[in-house]
Amino acid sequence: MLNPLASLVEKKLAAMPVTVRLQMPDGQWLGPKDARVQLAAKTAGAIKNLVAGDIGKIGEDYVEGRVEINSPMRDLMAAAAALLPNSPVDAARQGAFSALIKRLISVWRHSIERDAKQIEFHYDLSDDFYGLWLDPLRVYSCAYYREPEMTLAQAQEAKLDHICRKLRLQPGERFVDIGAGWGGLLLWAAEHYGVDATGITLSKNQHAYVNQLIEQKGLSGRVRMHLLDYRQLDTEQPFDKIASVGMFEHVGRAQLDGYFTRLRHLLAPGGLVMNHGITAGGVDNAQLGHGMGDFIEKYIFPGGELTHIGHVMTHMAAGGLESLDVENLRPHYARTLWAWSDGLEANLDRAREILSDEGGQRALRAYRLYLAGCAAGFENGWIALFQILGAHLPQSGRADELDEPSDLAYPWRRNYMYSQRSS
């Protein structure tokens, strides 16, 4: 006969969209033997977290070894979503006092020194580990599946070109990639568009990796990579074009006015800036609820903060930039993350070899949940990904703003909508 807690758990399992089997701490099994999702809880606390639908704590239980999971990631995420008592966006809404406290924390935690340590925590885990599941260019941001049948590698190249086309890069232009990662966009812009390219990062591993690539490709005279915070870039020599891809999530909500003001000061008159980053699904939440945001903060991205696209554009305008084009790539990021997750799952044995110590094994378990969980988050609209193309606010009116040859191209026209007429 089942005890009351076990009976409650059994009812939850029976209501799942996928079959789930769970081993209780006393060794008792609940659910069908051939279930798609197999779980083993070692503590009563883990069972309570499951019943409460506290997904973040369940994830922590797995990372810390209090729960064992044997399941395809897509099935696991389907089960996890079904456990939620309500939307993680709604659960993360905060009152005025909580918002004030979080703002004060945001101001404190995003000094140049603290940001450097937070970036090192994530990006310097292991280059070989990231290489297992990223594309050959190691582009660690949302891909652009311009065609449905594209592979991850093709979609990442399409994304790099998508950004370069939006920025209308021209040979000889001074271009800076803020948060250049492993150099994918930096080198693509230099090799395919002939720009004079500067990249910055706070990751020592990425800095060394990209500088080696620059030398190997014979681009030392035209491409450079600096270990530098964006706040330390020299504004005396502004850039013609600026890209910030997958970086502004680390800036902090309280710093966004200063961030966009800095981009404007770094941008030459007539230049363009591209801000590409993750945004919150809800207007009032800085992270996901039900413990998901706390999990990411603890194990993946310390210091990361989400902002709704509405607030992002407000801060961008406050910084003196005009939004020219806004594109939501949310489903593209869901597909990207599933590709990353599938790549990691296919290389688990090698990942365990690379991250062989106890801390590395915890990190591996965290990343398995993080990649699949974020894929589910984008699928469900809990988070989004926006590209915003901006420029200096116009200083004076131009009656011919739509007539000059340089103005006839994107972004002031939407000719792509009219290139083919439907039959």
- 3-class DSSP state for residue 224? strand
Are 343 and 356 in contact by the 8 Å Cβ rule? The answer is no
d(CA 13, CA 192): 53
Within 151-288, where are the H helices?
152-166, 184-193, 204-216, 256-266
Residues 6+ apart with CB under 8 A from 400: 407
DSSP H or E segment with residue 319: none
Alpha carbon separation from 313 to 139, 180, 248, 387 (Å, rounded) = 25, 23, 13, 11
Burial of 232 (0-12, 13-18, 19+ CB in 10 A): exposed
d(CA 244, CA 251): 11
Does the annotation count 164 as an active-site position?
no
Q: Choosing from 374, 375, 376, 383, which is the catalytic residue?
A: 374
Are 274 and 166 in contact by the 8 Å Cβ rule? The answer is yes
Residues 6+ apart with CB under 8 A from 232: 112
Residues 6+ apart with CB under 8 A from 100: none
DSSP H or E segment with residue 243: strand 239-245
d(CA 264, CA 266): 5
- Written as six digits, the tokens of 283 are 């207007």
- Which positions are catalytic? 374
